[in-house]
Structure 1
Amino acid sequence: TAIKAVRPGVRVVGVQTAVMPGIVASLRSGAPVAVEAARTVADGTAVAGPSALTFDLIQRHVDHVITVPEEAIARAIVLLIERSRLVVEGAGTLGVAAVMSGALAAVVPSPGKTALVLSGGNIDVTALGRIVARGLLLEGRQRTLTVAAANVPGELARITRAMAEAGANVIEVRHEIVTPDLPLGVARLTFRLEVTGAEAFEALLDMLEAHGLREGVATDLATPAAAAAAW
C-alpha cells in the first residue's frame, strides 16, 4: 500500500507456492476461500487462505498473484546462499523463485526495473541441508551414476581416475557384489557425484566411454570386463 501511494504506476506482484495457492484461489472465486494444507518449503506462507481484510487489500493494491513450484523455491534458496551469501527462508525467496522459474515473465513480460523483497532467515539447519541438496540435484550439479565392473582389484581405481580426469568429484560410492540381477564376479558401483552442470556430466560420460565403458544391462555403464560377463 505504501508503494502504491508513492508510485501508483508501480506494479505489485504477489507470489505463493503452488502447493498452497489460497490467495490465487480466492481471487478466482471473488471471495476468500481456503485450500487444503500441504507441506511446503515456504512454510512462512503456509496459510489456507486470506482473511477478509487481507483479501480486500490484495484486490485493491496487488496487480497479480502468481504461484511457483517447490523446486523453484529450493533453487532460489541455493542461489542466494551461493551468489549473495544470504540464508533466506523459503517464504522469503518467493520473489526470486518467480524470476528464476519464469512465472513473473508470464504475467509481466517486460518488467523493467524489478525489486524483489527478501525477508526472514527462520530456516531449520537440518531442513536447509536437504533443501540445498535438492537444489543442487535440480541444477544438475549432483548426479548419480551406476557402473557394472568386474569384482577384481584395480577396477574401481581405474573408474575413479577417469572421473577425476573429467573433473567430477566422488562424494559417495556404494559397492554391491551380491545381487540377483548381476552375474557372478560383477559388482555394481553406485556413484554420487558433484559436477558443475549438465555439460560437465556429458563430458564425464564421454571420458568414461573413452576409457572403454559402454551402456550397461542393469546399470548406466559397464566396464569391458563386466560387459563380457555372462548376463
Structure 2
Amino acid sequence: MTVTLADVTAARAALEGAVTPSPMLAAPKLSALTGAHVLVKYENLHVTNAFKERGAVVKLSRLPAEARARGVIAMSAGNHAQAVAYHATRLGVPSTIVMPDTTPHVKVAATRGFGAEVVLDGETVAESQIRASAIALERGLTFVHPYDDPDIIAGQGTIALEMLEQAPDLDAIVVPIGGGGLISGVAVAAKALKPSIEIVGVEAALYPSMWNALKGAELPVGGPTLAEGIAVKNVGALTRPIVESLVDDIVLVSETELERAVNAYLMHQKTLAEGAGAAGLAALFARPDKFAGRRVGLVLCGGNIDPRILASIMTRELEREQKIMAFRMTIADRPGMLGIIAGKLGELGANIIEVHHQRQFLDVPAKGATLDVTVETRDQAHAEAILAAFNESGMPCRRLDGGAAG
C-alpha cells in the first residue's frame, strides 16, 4: 500500500486546530426507511461543508516554504476547490483553481469567496486537469490533486479513525467513489483497525469508472448527473490498487435513487446533502437486501448543493409520493366551469397550485377546452379519491406524469 495506517494517524495530527472532528449520529428515521441500522458521519458540517478539507490541510501543511510562496493549483468540480482555497488562504498560500464550465454557480462563487483565482475550463474534471497542469508548469505552482496523492488519501482516511472511535461496532462503511481518494483512505484505516468491517463504494450509474476499472467492464461513462462531485471518468493510479485490495463491493445508483437520498437527508435528518454526499444513502435504497439489519456507517461527504436543484428535487419527490398531482380534463367552454371545478377541489380538500386552460388544439371540441390542474394532496389515497370523484361526477379526467402539461 502507498498509504498505511501510520500515514493516516500522522495525518490526523496535522489536522489538529485546523479541522474539527465531525459528529456521527444514529439516524432512526433513515433506519426505518432502509431496514439497516444507520449512522451518519456529518462531513457536511466543516467550514467548506465537505470532507475535502482533511486532505487539503495535510497536503498544504507539508509544503516547503518555497513552494508555499509560489502557490498551489488544483482542478475540481467544487469541494476540493473550496477546501484548497480556504486553507491555502488561511495559511497565506496563493491558490488557483481550474473548474469545469459545468460546475454549479454556488460552488464557483464559494471558491472565489475563499480567496482563490478561479479559471473555468472544460466540460469535465479530466479536461480541467489538462488546463491546470499547463498553468502549473507555466507558473511553477504545486499541483494539489483531488485524490491521487498520498497526503490527500491519508487525510481523507482520518474519517475512518473517527468513525470507528465513535461507533466501533459498525458492520459496514459506505463511501462515495469519484477518483477514489476518500474510499482509499477510509479503507486503509478501517481495514487496519477492524479487518472484518465491510467497505462498500458507491458510484453514480452514469459514471461507473471504478466499477469498469476493477471488473474489466465497459459500461458507458458520461451524462448529466446530480452527483457531479463524483462524476469522474478516470480513476486514480494510486487509488485503484487500494480499492481493488481493500474495498469489498461497489454499488451503482440511479439518478432517481440519488434524488430520493438528497430529499431524505433534508426531510428526515434536516441536513443538506449534495448528490455525491447522498450517494451512500442512495446505495441503501438501491440494495436494501445487502444492508438489512446491519450497522452501517454512511459518509455524508458534502452538502454544497445548488438551491435551485434542491427545490426541484423536493418538488419531484412530492410528485413521486403523489403529494402533488397533475390531471387533465376536457370541459365545456362556458362561464362558471372553472368555479365549479375549483369548488369541487375545495370540497375534496385539495389545494390548487396551477391551472392551464387550452382552447387551440384540434383534439379539443370547438365548444370545449382542455384544463390541466396541479394540486397538493395528502397522499396517494387522497390523489386517487380526487380522480375518482371527478370521474364519477361526469367530469372525466386522467393523471398527468411529472406535473401540469401545456
Q: Same fold (TM over 0.5)?
A: yes
CA distance in 2, matches of 1:73, 1:149: 39
- Per mean C-alpha deviation after superposition, the further-off stretch among 204-213 and 8-17 is 204-213
Question: Which residue of the partner structure matches residue 328 of structure 2?
Answer: 146
- Tell me how far 1:141 sits from its aligned partner: 2.8
Q: Deviations over 1:37-72 (max 9, x none)?
A: 321000000100311211111112211001010011
**Which of 254, 264, 276 is matched with 1:91 structurally?**
276
Determine helix, strand or coil for the equivalent of 1:123: coil
1:70 aligns with 2:252: no
Cα distance, 1:24–1:166 mapped onto 2, change above 3 Å? farther
1:19 aligns with 2:201: no
**Which of 42, 46, 60 is matched with 2:227 structurally?**
42
1:100 aligns with 2:276: no
CA distance in 2, matches of 1:157, 1:100: 43
CA distance in 1, matches of 2:205, 2:324: 25
TM-score (norm 1): 0.82
**Which of 190, 193, 196 is matched with 1:9 structurally?**
196
- Tell me how far 1:16 sits from its aligned partner: 0.8
CA distance in 2, matches of 1:2, 1:111: 24
1:213 aligns with 2:395: yes
CA distance in 2, matches of 1:9, 1:76: 27
- Tell me how far 1:160 sits from its aligned partner: 2.2
1:185 aligns with 2:367: yes
Cα distance, 1:148–1:28 mapped onto 2, change above 3 Å? same
CA distance in 2, matches of 1:123, 1:193: 27
CA RMSD of aligned residues (A): 2.2
CA distance in 2, matches of 1:17, 1:153: 52
TM-score (norm 2): 0.49
- Tell me how far 1:169 sits from its aligned partner: 2.2
CA distance in 2, matches of 1:59, 1:91: 21
- Tell me how far 1:180 sits from its aligned partner: 1.3
Question: Which residue of the partner structure matches residue 53 of structure 1?
Answer: 238
Q: Is the 8 A contact 2:326 2:372 kept in 1?
A: yes
Q: Deviations over 1:91-113 (max 9, x none)?
A: 00011111223x252xx264511
Cα distance, 1:23–1:139 mapped onto 2, change above 3 Å? farther
CA distance in 2, matches of 1:34, 1:97: 20
Q: Deviations over 1:143-171 (max 9, x none)?
A: 22001111222211222222233332221
Cα distance, 1:150–1:168 mapped onto 2, change above 3 Å? same
Matches within 5 A, 1:170-181: 170-181=352-363
Q: Deviations over 1:160-196 (max 9, x none)?
A: 2222333322211101123211112211111122223
Question: Which residue of the partner structure matches residue 157 of structure 1?
Answer: 339
CA distance in 2, matches of 1:100, 1:165: 37
CA distance in 2, matches of 1:109, 1:96: 11
Share of identical aligned residues, percent? 31
CA distance in 2, matches of 1:109, 1:146: 41
1:124 aligns with 2:313: no
Q: Which structure 2 segments of 5+ residues have no match? A: 1-187, 400-406
Q: Which structure 1 segments of 5+ residues have no match? A: 222-231
CA distance in 2, matches of 1:168, 1:28: 51
CA distance in 2, matches of 1:4, 1:165: 60
Q: Is the 8 A contact 1:92 1:120 kept in 2?
A: yes
